[in-house]
Structure 1
Amino acid sequence: MHLSKFEILAISIGILIAIQPSYIHPDEHFQSLEILAQLFYGINGTIPWEYDLINGARSFVPLILYYGPVYYLLACILHINNPSILLYCVRLQHALSFLLITYMSLSYIVPNSKACRSKAYVYVITSYVTWSFQSHSFSNSIETLVLLATIATFSMQLEKSTQNYYLLSIFQGILITLGIFNRMTFPAFVFLPSLMVFWKYYLNHWRSFMLLILTIVVTSFIFILIDTNIYGSSIYIIAPMNNLLYNVSVDNLSQHGLHPRYTHILVNLPQLIGPGILYMIPHHKNQIKSFFMSLPMLSIYSAILILSLFPHQELRFLTPLVPFICIKLAKCKSPIFFKIWVMFNLTMGIIIGVFHQSGIVDILTQQIFYADRDINVHIWWKSYSPPTWMYMNDNLTVSTTNFIDDIERIDNIDFNMHENYVIDLKGSDLKLTNETIWNFMKNDAMRKITLFYPSSVESKVLQILNNTHIQHKKIYHTRRHLDLDHFDINDLSTFIPGFSVVELQYA
């Protein structure tokens, strides 16, 4: 593997961004690290709805297979409970595994053109999606790795379609099962490519096909048994099916946000690839057949078509497509375009990979807030949900807001608690926040409360703190926090970056 100086620089930038405290989306913690920390360290924290026994909508198997060795090494052998070490080890694992698997997969997906393959890899390693999203602990990041490996096996079968690939079919069956149990969206990415492989390969190799199906069935049954045992359920837990049943309900999806059907193609895809969107359509007639009939492009169209049927559409759902898009971009010969591509990705890499919501993680890696000590009542407001696993606290209690009959309330709140209590107010209004603080204060005038909030809502916080009956002291502040959710053109203070921690006490 020979890398140019520019490629080494791009990879180095990616690794540097990978170990920044940015926080892109709550699911990067709550669908992986939150659960793993509780399994390996026995701490208390947030139980996401997917992992509640009532729902059973996420499989533990992909988490254990991918993260298990790292967590076992750090928790059981080295006895490290520092959340920053845990977090950045996981992010480095993601970054390095993606770089390696992408490089290996491209040699099979683009076998006949070394120049195109090398150029595609350059586009991959200069993408901010690689630097930020693929280095974070999303289930989409694992989905990308499994998808690359699966399309690589498809490519091998099509390259030499007269050969029997028995072992490859078994490996392919394991990959497909792992992909489905990791995210129920995985079939959307392989639907059209698998039809081509079935038509051009498996129709002539029925033994290989039966071996593939048998492997999927056996592997699925093993995964179901493992999940059922970990959940402690008296009935079989089929996580992908439970997840699908949840997501076909518009009422359920409305709790996570509903989007127009065109969001993926008109909003999310342009955000992912920026100027690359100009090259996602063929420009010449002789390109049309090769453009539409290649496995990478079939995967792109298959995913966008199927995922657009669901009214909940987040940008990260399309991140597994970026390596395939880079294969298409590799055919662009314009040096000006590549310079624009690099500038776009550097800008997005700094915004998303370095500063986005980074104050939350930055604060929770400070010794005064985690591990081997009791905390008081911590109230988080107008921020992403705090990754409660980073407290590394085995006595922690967590409460958060929920909407009941269109009224926002805090679930199971206990105003009599004095310590090891985290309340996530999310984006609740000023009234609920003020009432929450005062309900704790009036129950015990000596109680101390710690309030966490972004600088973008400082003016609103001051409406609470300026009350003469509250003493407040800022105990921590970082400018390294970019809040993109609360901009208000009528209040320029909302554009101020930063995150603050204030200790409150009744005067």
Structure 2
Amino acid sequence: MFLKTEILKAISFRNPVKLPLSYWLLVGLRFVLTLVPQQGYIHPDEFFQNIEVIAGDVLTVDVARTWEFNPKFPIRNIFIPKMLLGPPLHFIRLANPYVKEYFNIDLKTPYYLLVIPRLFICLLSLINDYCLYRICVLYGQNFRNRLKIFASSYVVFVYCCRSFSNTFEMVFFSILLMLVAECMLKSDKVIYHDEFLKEKYKEAKTAVEKVKLFKLSTHLPEHSLNRVLILSTLVVVGIFNRPTFVGFAFPPVFFWLYRGLGSKVVGFKDFHYRIFVLIVCGIPPVFILILVDSSYYGYLTMADVETLKITWDNWVVTPLNFLRYNSDMRNLTQHGLHPRWLHLAVNIPLLFNVLGLLAASTLSGHIYRFIRGQYSKLPRIQSITGLMIFSLITPIALLSLFPHQEARFIIPVLVPLVYLFGNHLHVNETDAPYHRKLKIFFRYNWYILNFLLTIFFGFVHQGGIYPFVNDLHSEIKATYGVHTHVITTHSYSIPTFLLQLESTTKVWKDRKTGHKYRLAPSTFLYKYGSMPTDDLFTKVDEVLTEAEMMLHKYKKQYRFYVASPCSLERQILDTAKNYYYIELMEDFLYYPHFCTEALPSFPSSRDQFCIDKNLSRKNESQSLDLNFYQRISCFLKKFCLRIYRVRPVKTKPI
């Protein structure tokens, strides 16, 4: 009876602990920074890959449906974004009439449309924290230091609170790691006790002892297929969210299959049986997700189901389309080709700074020992350290094979990275004085760099787009019916759903007459990327001509804006002089706004444009030479977004 109790205690995972106050302050800061809100704009995919499309479905507004959601060849699954982003958007839709009535607050404004979904995603990001904490507790590691390092990362402050598919991928990966870590620990303990009881059974001399030991062995819980259903479902959902999840899921799934292999009670028969059951359990979620996508994109209709006229053409498999699209080098060229060393040399230091350097140093040491044949000094393959090392190396190695590499693609490896090296930034009692100073230096660098990167990516990078959209939304609502034309150049695209434009694709019905109609668009957004200035003004001329024609023919009033980084101000004003019939007025200015598409050059001491902008023309005695501080001031002032109002030049009657 005593042995049975000890076995049950050994395989239980109850371990109540307290989290440090500093960690809770960092979590609170995560939500505060989301509420501010963060006006930084990391990448267009944070809007157009998920929330833009879901907002159009839920709120019935005009949105920009990108090529990824083209029904002719869709490559994005719709189930995961609807499940994760649908709840906050449905909340806005349902609560807005009551909040408007009782509190006079409109939730369908850019601030709430931006913040409420991000708050929901922030709550989801706490799953990453819990998974890291749970793994540390299970294996008796210092979770306090690791949680503080994890929660202070700018990846958590910025990326983990945005609606990237990579953010959801990180959540799925963290859960997968935690579940496999639990299964590994449970299997290790059950196998240890199973082998122990079998040894005692062989050594038993009496039938009574053998019966007791046999009964104890029957009380050991099953572990071979532990969590198989949830694991297979999680892998399928992760792959449909992003097919690159295969690279992240491979190490945890392999370690789950490999548990206990080589022991006296687990053999290759169990290994193959686990593979078979894992695949079988993954079939239902695969079918459900294919069914959802096929219905959403119009491949499968109720008429097809009722008549049972279902063929292969009625099904769409979005991950398969994703792979087909990205296997074509011509498609990748459109999105930008990168060297295959970019993740290793640039993205890892950019995302993980000090931890990335520690990982590179430690893993280089492991590779050296492996080459020298010092296998006893390497982590055990079936240990939690082995799982985390392979979960760190494998995804980065596989994603580095593709020539299109962005930093956000590898943010999920932050969890295994912090588990392996997060404690290396804190001093231990056994550390030598040199190592103490080095760890303190690394820790301060970690906090300082992450603070600066949080400010940069959270508030500065493309930071003028959100405040411009906020003002534009107010102006559109205040002058309903006036046509609005907006051209953006050398900046990211405006998220259309934030403007809450009435749907021009939905069929409306007049309650009195019963006639059906569609609304004509009144806001027009033109996205011209990094188009040269001369070509840009050709487009400006075309749009202005069309707007003037609508004004004189149909009395449609209009306003016309061009949004451009301040670094292009000289080029735009100089080019505008060639169009004598176009009046270009500097209307608004949003600061800060950093964009790599139009980086400003550092002005010289004789830069006439800076002199005209910053020095008083009335003071004739002032030197024409700019000093160093004036040049810095002029340079920093170029990191803004300038809004120009475009009008035709009014000629005086003769």
Asked if Structure 1 and Structure 2 have the same fold, meaning a TM-score greater than 0.5 normalized by the shorter chain, the answer is yes
Alignment partner of 1:383 out of 476, 491, 500: 491
Residues in 2 aligned to 1:238 and 1:369: alpha-carbon distance in whole angstroms: 42
In the alignment, the residues of structure 2 paired with residue 47 and residue 121 of structure 1 have an alpha-carbon distance, to the nearest angstrom, of 38
Cα deviation, residue 368, structure 1 = 2.5
Question: Which residue number corresponds to residue 408 of structure 1?
Answer: none
* Distance (Å, rounded) in 2 between the aligned partners of 1:201 and 1:25: 44
In structure 2, what is the equivalent of residue 325 of structure 1? 417
Kindly report which structure 2 residues correspond to 1:97-496, keeping only aligned pairs within 5 A, or say none: 97-99=124-126, 101-112=127-138, 114-161=140-187, 162=190, 163-164=222-223, 168-200=227-259, 204=270, 209-234=275-300, 235-280=314-359, 281-282=361-362, 288-289=378-379, 294-332=386-424, 333=427, 334-366=439-471, 367-369=473-475, 373-374=480-481, 375-395=483-503, 419-445=522-548, 448-466=559-577, 467-489=579-601, 495=636, 496=638
Is contact 1:257-1:312 (8 Å) kept?
Answer: yes
Q: Is the 8 A contact 1:396 1:422 kept in 2?
A: no
Separation (CA, whole Å) in 2 of partners of 1:70 and 1:221: 27
- Report the alpha carbon displacement of residue 245 of structure 1 after superposing the two structures with TM: 1.0
Deviations 1:91-142 (A, max 9, x none): 112222212x123212443345555222111111110110111111100000
Q: Percent of aligned positions with the same letter in both sequences?
A: 24
Q: Secondary structure at the match of 2:142?
A: helix
CA contact (8 A) 1:486 1:494 kept: no
Offset at 1:67?
1.3
- Code of the aligned partner of 1:34: E
**Runs (5+) with no aligned partner, structure 2:** 1-16, 98-106, 191-221, 262-267, 301-313, 370-375, 428-438, 506-519, 552-557, 604-630, 650-654
- Please say if residues 116 and 330 of structure 1, whose CA atoms lie closer than 8 Å, have aligned partners that are also in contact: no
1:84 touches 1:365 (CA, 8 Å); kept in 2? yes
Measured after TM superposition, the shift of residue 167 of structure 1 is 6.7
Q: What does 1:14-29 align with in structure 2 at a 5 Å threshold?
A: 14-18=30-34, 19-29=37-47
Q: Could you tell me whether the CA contact under 8 Å between 2:113 and 2:498 is conserved in 1?
A: no
Gaps (5+ residues) in structure 1?
Answer: 398-416
Q: Tell me the alpha carbon deviations over residues 308-344 of structure 1, each in whole angstroms, 9 at most, x when there is no partner.
A: 1111000000111112211122231322211110011
Distance 1:290 1:498, change over 3 A: farther
Which segment is superposed worse, 278-287 or 134-143?
278-287
State the AA in 1 paired with 2:459: V
Measured at CA, do residues 35 and 120 of structure 1 come closer, stay the same or move farther in structure 2, by a change above 3 Å? same
Q: Quick check: 2:133–2:147 contact (8 Å CA) kept in 1?
A: no
Contact in 1 for aligned 2:176/2:252 (Cα 8 Å): no
Letter in 2 for 1:289: P
* 130 and 365 in structure 1: CA distance in 2 versus 1, 3 angstrom threshold: same
Q: CA deviation at 1:191?
A: 1.3
8 Å contact kept, 1:169–1:209? no
Shift of 1:294: 2.2
One-letter amino acid of the structure 1 residue matched with residue 474 of structure 2: I
Report the 3-state secondary structure (helix = DSSP H, G, I; strand = E; otherwise coil) of the residue aligned with 1:294: helix
Residue identity opposite 2:394 in structure 1: S
Identify if the C-alpha distance between structure 1 residues 483 and 369 changes in structure 2 by more than 3 Å, giving closer, same or farther: farther
List per-residue Cα deviations over 1:363-415 (Å, max 9, x = no partner): 21234255583441111111111111212112569xxxxxxxxxxxxxxxxxx
Residues 236, 345 of structure 1: alpha-carbon distance in 2 compared, 3 angstrom cutoff: same
More displaced 10-residue stretch of structure 1: 332-341 or 110-119 = 110-119
- 2:80 alignment partner, SS class: helix
Equivalent residue, structure 2, for 1:96: 123
Residues 359 and 499 in structure 1, CA contact (< 8 A), matched pair in contact too: yes
Greater mean alpha carbon deviation, residues 322-331 or residues 118-127: 322-331
Contact 1:190 1:302 in 2 (8 A): no
Superposition pairs for residues 72-87 of structure 1, below 5 Å? 72-79=90-97, 80-87=107-114
Displacement of 1:362 in angstroms is 1.8
Range 167-176 or range 54-63, more displaced:
167-176
Matching of residue 36 in structure 1 with residue 147 in structure 2: no
Q: Which amino acid aligns with 1:500?
A: R
SS in 1 for 2:589: strand
Distance in 2, Cα, partners of 1:494 & 1:138: 32
> 1:113–1:194: structure 2 CA closer, same or farther, 3 Å change rule?
closer
C-alpha displacement of 1:463? 2.2
Checking the alignment, whether the CA contact within 8 Å between 1:45 and 1:396 is kept in structure 2 is no
Q: Helix, strand or coil: the match of 1:331? A: helix
Select the structure with the greater relative contact order (CA < 8 A; seq sep ≥ 6): 1
How far is 1:494 from its partner?
6.6
1:453, 1:459 → 2: CA distance?
11
Query: How far, CA to CA, are the matches of 1:78 and 1:387 in structure 2?
Result: 21
User: Greater Rg, structure 1 or structure 2?
Assistant: 2
Paired position in structure 1 for 2:643? 501
CA contact (8 A) 1:371 1:391 kept: no
Give the superposition deviation at 1:165.
6.6
Query: How has the CA–CA distance of structure 1 residues 489 and 378 changed in structure 2, closer, same or farther, with 3 Å as cutoff?
Result: closer
Say whether the 8 Å CA contact 2:60–2:503 is kept in structure 1.
no
Tell me the distance in 2 between the aligned counterparts of 1:287 and 1:427: 53
SS of structure 2 residue aligned to 1:358: coil
Distance 1:370 1:96 in 2: 33
TM-score, L = length of structure 2: 0.70
How far the C-alpha of 1:25 sits from its partner, in A, is: 0.2
